Amino acid sequence: MVQGAKIGVHAWSDGSSSANDYPNNHTEHEVYINFYKDIGYSQQEAENLYFFIINAASPENIHWMTDQEILDYQILNP
């Protein structure tokens, strides 16, 4: 990540519903959590990151991650 770069996150939407329309234990979330697992996160880390992202901002908004969040969620080195 180059100096001054930002990482923005927000909940997903399919145009009619969004991530937060589903309870946390809904199967709709599994594909996203499994993606994070596939790239090296543990089950718990994948869930933590995914739910952080979908709760950080609505689909219409963006949350710019802080340096501490990038470290906490191991964005650069899962």
Q: Identify whether 6 is part of a domain.
A: no
Q: Which pLDDT does position 39 carry in this prediction? A: 95
CA–CA distance, 56 with 9 (Å, rounded to integer) = 7
Q: Which pLDDT does position 78 carry in this prediction? A: 53
Summarised one tens digit per residue, pLDDT across range 46-78 is 999 999 999 999 999 999 999 999 999 999 875
Tell me which residue range forms the domain holding 77. 27-78
Q: How many domains does the chain have?
A: 1
Mean pLDDT, range 2-29, rounded to an integer? 95
Q: Identify whether 10 is part of a domain.
A: no
- What does the DSSP 8-state code read for residue 9? E
Q: Is 24 helix (H, G, I), strand (E, B) or coil?
A: coil
Q: Identify whether 50 is part of a domain.
A: yes
Categorize the per-residue pLDDT at 27 as very low, low, confident or very high, splitting at 50, 70 and 90: very high
Q: Identify whether 22 is part of a domain.
A: no
Q: Identify whether 61 is part of a domain.
A: yes
List strand residue ranges (DSSP E) for the chain, in order: 8-9, 63-64
